[in-house]
Chains A and B, each alone.
Chain A
Amino acid sequence: MASIVKSRTVLLMAAAVLIAVMGGVSATIFGHSTPSQPQIEFNRDIRPILNANCMACHGGVKQAANVSFSYREQVLGKGKSGRPTVVPGNPRASELMARITSKDDDVRMPLHTAPLSQKQIALLRQWIEEGAHWSDYWAFVSPKPQPLPAVKRAAWVRRPLDRFILARLEKEHLFPSAEAGKAELLRRASLDLTGLPSTPQEQANFLADTSPAAYEKQVDRLLASPRYGERWATMWLDVARYGDSKGFEKDRSRTVWPYRDWVIDAFNRNMPFDQFVIRQLGGDLFPKPSFGDLIATSFHRQTQANDEGGTDDEEFRIAAMMDRTSTTWSALNGVSFNCVQCHSHPYDPIRHDEYYKFMAFFNTQRDADIAFDNARPDDWPVLNVPIDKAQYGAADRLQKQISAVRETVVAASRAAEARTQWKPLPIQQAGISEVLAIKALLAKALAKGGDGEDKRAKQIERLQKELARAELHPPQASLQIRNGMAESKGTVPRNTVFELTATLDTPTLTAIRIEVPPANSEAAHTPEKGFIVNHVDAWIVRTGGGADKITFRLMAPDAADSLIADVARDMKANGKIKAKEYGKDKTGRPVEKMVGTSQPEAKPRTPDEVMQSVAANSGLLADPSLFYARWVVAVPDRPIQLLAGARLRLQLTQTESVNQTIGAAPRVRLFTSNDKRWTALAHSSQIASSLADLEQMDHDLSAIPAVLVPVMAEQAGYEKRQTLEYDRGSFLTQAGPNLAPDTPALFPRMPTNAPHNRLTLAKWFFQPGQPLTARVAVNRYWEQLFGTGIVESQEDFGSAGDPPSHPELLDWLALRFQNDLHWNQKALVREIVTSATYRQSAGSTAALRDKDPRNRLLARGPQQRLSAEMVRDQAMLSSGLLNPQMGGPPVMPAQPENIWNVVSNNPERWVNATGPDRYRRAVYTFVKRTSLYPSFVTFDAADRTQTTPRRITTNTPLQALVTLNDPVYHEAAIALSGRMLKEGKGPLDTRLNYGANLVLSRDLTPEELAPLHRLYVQAGGGASPNSLAGYTAVGTALLNLDAALTR
């Protein structure tokens, strides 16, 4: 019987299963009514398939058989097969469907690899059936207002953002964790907001405060603390790739710390995020920029500069410019714009030429990888920033006046040159003389006042030897004349004088125009090597013999950089400013570069004397590159009456080098004029007083001890560079029209009523409707506070990056930050850290960890390792060594010797600070790009050679060696043990607990106390509670606990 019963039940069960299966199957096939509203969501279902399987050959880089999936019109267009890739609503007519379902290996797509899965093919078919709706990738569609989602356990919600997290948790059948204990919460908030743990006193106050808003009060205290700016500045200095050295081979130091202090101060003053960025991108273009606005523009001057001998300055100017272009997009919009340098973006709809239209914003600045050049200071253009903030006002006024006066002189000169009818003066003879050049140098050295007797003697001896050699070996170079122009051929010696003679056929002569034209019209975007003529002598040679020297009263400059060089040369010749050199400050650090104070003047020179002296020291230049014709107009004291057949003899002295190589002009052309107005200009008291003012103001400025900070400065109209498209990204092959600056079409249009410059661009990033600026900004804060952003790939919000874990939350936060909080950074941070999500305990069950190992759903509080800077600062604070001094030049805490000497022949050395500078916060440590501070590198600090959107944390044995054996941490452990011994009162265990409170901001549990107690005894502590050796071992242990390295 049993068997029958058994068999019947088996039959029944089989039937039941059969029906269930049939039901299920039918549901899938027939269940799908084609509702009017499309089922398929392009970004969620289709784009991932296209990106993974098609874009490599049919995207922005390659368009095989001119089929591309970057733009909708291309997808609807016809490929080489002549058939449209996709016909909306009609899969059978779409070549795409034919190709992905074909059986023939040579026809089936993706080509020669495994075919798409049935599910993928079905999705594509359904997408086409539903009309092939295309939507831009979510990141390029501006955020929509998001309604707050309904939740069951609304009681848990503290801030609106909690609703989004809770809604998702409830969907995933998860519950938020309990709120973290007070100790855990305060430690997390203190480290997240200020980069330092809370002190025992702060913990005590918080524990004692039972008011409901106790935690909010602590958050407000932390937000108001000056430590806040130091912590959050580090995040932005990674983005700005801040470094105290120029990078590449020489990697000489660079005084940019005033910019670092500006960033810290901006965070502390809670500068709105849009103002914070606009000042850094375009502060110099404000109608009335403040001194701070100018310092802020050092953001994009953090790019590396290559001072290695023999480098092509234009190549590395362009490298810096391209860095600025891609850093702007990565920092503000998380777009990998650097891909588009060589071809259209592989995934996102950004075309190749749009890269260069955008780069045009950054191609018209005055910096040009300048170093070692006599004409202008290193890293020019630079802002003279006083070390003492009180003198900012004076320095600011002086520098603004100097550039204003300079502009008036240049404008007057250019206006006069433009209205003159120049008469070409064909050169008849032209020669190159090295002997004359060396003789000139020798004369100058002999005449020089005594400054370092032996140095001058050695220089004179070297010049005499060189003179003897030059007399023996004539240079293998010559000046050939081609239709009146002298061109140099062969190897022009480093020090050279061009001797030019030409017959004058004009009765009177009031001005001589000396011009160095570029080789061809292409030079506007692909320039030649530059040149410097630092002195001009001229004679009128009478037909009967004998010559009269012309004294020039004015050398009218063609541009600001030429006038700067002339004035600087004159002041140096008159000992007005001591050439800057490496000043030494009290800790013996050789890197601080001070502008020395000049000696008081014997008797002030009259404007007239200044003018003539400047004229005697003037010339013309194109440094470092020759983009367009450069000229100078030499104006004699009074008009010269010429007899028939009189000849002009001209000597152009060129003894200053351009980037350590010859600075000789490639070719020269001459013109003359008899326009009386030149003589009038030469005698204009306004020009004379301007030149005198320039020298006086330069002198006054140099009297203020200051450092030179590289900043952004826009080229004047007459010298603006051209921007063309680079073929496959190479600057050596540029083609096409001169591109006007503009932004990619994928993004909202730029305002039409404003000039297309950096300032307008900076404001454009923050205009309403921008899809990414606010999202990327809030995502960066979220990543700092929770360890992982809502979009994990902070470096790439494009379609190749990660999708957001909570898209609605991201959009809500972005609009909240932009529209409600008006970019108020502290308000945003406050809202996140006071949310219930943030306040959860980090503890979790194995099941939760199983379901969400990386805590992306945030069913538990954040737990991250301390950043490299926090590890050091916590050791300094807990051991009592921390020197809270803010700002000022970078410092050199303890570092093993000859870490620096390994690289490049740069005389600067790391000198371990012995004074209070040894214990400053990590953000003030000297950042040398080619040899970073070793313990920071081991804890994953950014290498600051290019923008770092986020740091990837690692966990290695070398980190253990740092916190165990690095002298900094050993010194901290000893100091910590001193505090336990002296400040901790009562028996051993209370002192051990005091130590734990200093480091872990909490008491020890009994299970944690026992091992430390045992360690103290083993380490020689014995029974007495005051053994320094015992506490040192405990101190080392405390600083190496996982709990100490976690927040």
Chain B
Amino acid sequence: MRKTPSDLFEQLHREQQTRRQFVGWGAGGLGAFFMNTAMAAQQPTTSTGLSFKRDPSAPLSALPPQFPAKVKRVIYLHMGGAPSQLELFDHKPTLSRFGGQLCPESFVKGKRFAFIRGVPKLLGPQFPFHQTGRNGTWISDRMPHTEKLIDDLCLIKSMKTDQFNHAPAQLLVQTGDARTGHASLGSWVTYGLGSENQNLPGFIVLASSGPGPTANAGKPLWGSGFLPSVYQGVECRSAGEPILYLNNPHDVSRASRRQVLDAVDAINQQTRKEFGNPETVARIAQYELAFRMQMEASEAMDIRREPGAVLARYGAEPGKTSYANNCLVARRLAERGVRFIQLYHWGWDSHGSPTDEGINIGFVKRCKETDQPTAALLRDLKERGLLEDTLVVWGGEFGRTPMEDNHGGSTEASKYVGRDHHTAAFTIWMTGGGVRTGMVHGETDDMGYDVVKDPVEVRDLHATILYLLGFDYQKLNFAYQGLDQKLTGVKPARVVSQILA
């Protein structure tokens, strides 16, 4: 009989002595009490996958990867709304020559778009491109800081997706399925590997956005889906209370909170003696963890502790919610063993209709808001040797069309320049342990419409990320409703071996 979710939360193991071991702690002597990993590793492997059984009182305890990993943690920089690849990385001189002319019929016949109707005009790149780095990589002038690190990046210009609306496309990139109910990338990674630092959440989410309206799918993007809710992303903020309810109420000191916890602990020990319920033992441990997390999470996310020079490098301003602050927090969390750090920056949806989203206005602002902090994060990780075992991924949920967005047929020659959503081709970049850098993978045609070389599906990107973390994507699964659910879904995926170092 295949394993079912109930096995994951099977109560404590037979050997009572591990229980006695827990019972013996004094108030302070807790230390990292979680079941030692050796015991976890000896679980029998299931017929189709690996076993991820854990002591339920330590659902985030670290487990070894399937085979030696290239990276230990992931920082995912998701640019919500889909940044235009034609104004950043995908240099298309032919498109600029044909700008302003009607696009070929084949671009729209039988195709599904969000807003484009009829036959729109082509729109040439709005910013100049030039070559840079030791391999002469083409790049626009919008990201000067990131450009300096171009030889540390692996550009993938041949990404493809099949969703042309924001919410389903973001769900596909973040959870492997266009509908809600599936586990997010961060949840799968913390389910597979647990967290290195037990005093911090394993999967942390930091969101920021341009001032205008944002188009995103909300919490299901970092939800745990069918996985138990302990693996969902924990929303944090670089301004105010880092984790919801982390700080004690203003009128309660840390010392008085310790008194309350000592009383709770003393009484819970009585309950444990009387009923012997393992959940009681687990809850005793969680309260100690919460007390320690209050200190460690506040310290980890307090960017005021960084020297002025570092703050300046990121453009970070303590007390505000900004992408720059979130990037600095991301590095601090990476140093402290958080497994998966997910950043969002919303507001890239440059259709051109609302002022703030035009390519000539909103897009320019988003580039400014993100370029320096992203580059500062990469350089910081590199200098500290952290980039050796950290994977950084940057990208959106689809691309933007080489045609202008005639936004539902209104041919007003608006002064805001915009492109519609484009599923056939978009660009992301990756860097970090195990990634071959200073290269470009995949090509699009002269108009930037279709991928002509080395197409990469979203599930292939997922399979590659899991490979770098030490997993065969087939083996990281969870039995639910009779199916071994996988991040890559039911279709076969392919590790993009060309971009591996």
Contacts and interface: CB of A to CB of B under 8 A. Distances in A.
B201 A955 contact: no
Given A249-B165, A853-B11, A931-B218, A961 B290 contact: yes
Given A793-B6, A955-B279, A1015-B259, A494 B409 contact: yes
Contacts of A938: 229
B180 interface: yes
19 contacts: A249-B216, A249-B217, A312-B112, A319-B179, A346-B482, A490-B118, A492-B409, A796-B4, A863-B279, A896-B244, A930-B218, A931-B218, A938-B229, A954-B9, A1008-B267, A1015-B259, A1037-B260, A1041-B264, A1041-B271
Residue with the highest number of chain A CB atoms closer than 10 Å, among B10, B118, B232, B262: B118
A932 B118 contact: no
Nearest to A864: B279
Residue with the highest number of chain B CB atoms closer than 10 Å, among A491, A849, A945: A491
Contacts of A953: 9
B229 A310 contact: no
Contacts of B117: 491-492, 661-662
A955 B56 contact: yes
A362 B181 CA distance: 21
Contacts of B9: 952-954
Contact of B47 (A53, A792, A902, A929): A53
B411 A473 contact: yes
A598 interface: no
Nearest to A336: B481
Given A905-B215, A1005-B270, A1042-B279, 4 more contacts: A56-B48, A903-B218, A1012-B267, A1043-B268
A798 B260 contact: no
Nearest to A930: B218
Interface stretch (A126-134, A672-680, A840-848): A840-848
Residue with the highest number of chain A CB atoms closer than 10 Å, among B5, B167, B479, B482: B482
B102 interface: yes
B257 A1007 contact: no
For chain A, what secondary structure do more than half of its interface residues adopt (helix, strand, loop), or is it mixed? loop
B118 A308 contact: no
Contact of A943 (B5, B220, B235, B283): B220
A960 interface: yes
A959 B286 contact: yes
Contacts of B246: 961, 965
Interface in A1007-1042: 1007-1008, 1010-1012, 1014-1015, 1018-1019, 1033-1034, 1036-1037, 1040-1042
Contacts of A603: none
Contacts of B166: 249, 308
Interface in B266-293: 266-268, 270-272, 274-280, 282-284, 286-287, 289-290, 293
For chain B, what secondary structure do more than half of its interface residues adopt (helix, strand, loop), or is it mixed? loop
A347 B482 contact: yes
B33 interface: no
Contacts of A51: 1-2
A853 to B, nearest CB: 4
Contact of A905 (B213, B252, B267, B482): B213
A819 to B, nearest CB: 30
Interface in B467-496: 479-483, 490
Contacts of B232: 937
Contacts of B220: 929-930, 943, 945
- Shortest Cβ-Cβ A-B pairs, 5 listed: A930-B218, A905-B213, A310-B114, A491-B118, A800-B482
Contacts of B282: 955
Residue with the highest number of chain A CB atoms closer than 10 Å, among B4, B257, B479: B4
A966 interface: yes
B421 interface: yes
A1011 B247 CA distance: 24
B248 interface: yes
Interface string A908-952: 000000000000000000000111101101101001011000001
A339 interface: yes
Nearest to B11: A853
A800 B267 contact: no
Contact of B57 (A843, A955, A1010): A955
Given A308-B165, A957-B289, A491 B256 contact: no
A789 to B, nearest CB: 10
A691 to B, nearest CB: 33
A56 B215 CA distance: 40
A934 B284 CA distance: 22
B290 A964 contact: yes
B165 A306 contact: yes
A904 interface: yes
A304 interface: yes
B460 to A, nearest CB: 19
A850 B482 contact: no
A493 B289 CA distance: 61
B413 interface: yes
A39 to B, nearest CB: 20
B456 to A, nearest CB: 21
A310 B421 contact: yes
B11 to A, nearest CB: 4
A894 to B, nearest CB: 11
B284 to A, nearest CB: 7
Nearest to A343: B490
B167 A306 contact: yes
Contacts of B259: 1015, 1018-1019, 1033
Interface string B427-448: 0000000000000000000000
Interface in A325-379: 336, 338-339, 342, 346-347
A938 to B, nearest CB: 8
Contacts of A1012: 263, 267
Given A311-B165, A952-B5, A491 B119 contact: yes
Interface string B92-135: 00000000001000000000111101111000000000000000
A790 B120 CA distance: 61
Given A53-B47, A249-B166, A957 B408 contact: no
B397 to A, nearest CB: 11
A491 B482 contact: no
Nearest to B409: A662
A496 B268 CA distance: 73
B472 to A, nearest CB: 15
A775 B122 CA distance: 61
B49 interface: no
A321 interface: no
B249 interface: yes
A973 to B, nearest CB: 9
Interface string B153-192: 0000000000011111000000000011100000000000
B410 to A, nearest CB: 5
B86 interface: no
B467 to A, nearest CB: 22
Given A310-B113, A477-B118, A1015-B263, A904 B481 contact: no
B314 to A, nearest CB: 22
A1010 B23 CA distance: 21
Contacts of B326: none
Contacts of B248: 964-965
A310 B483 contact: no
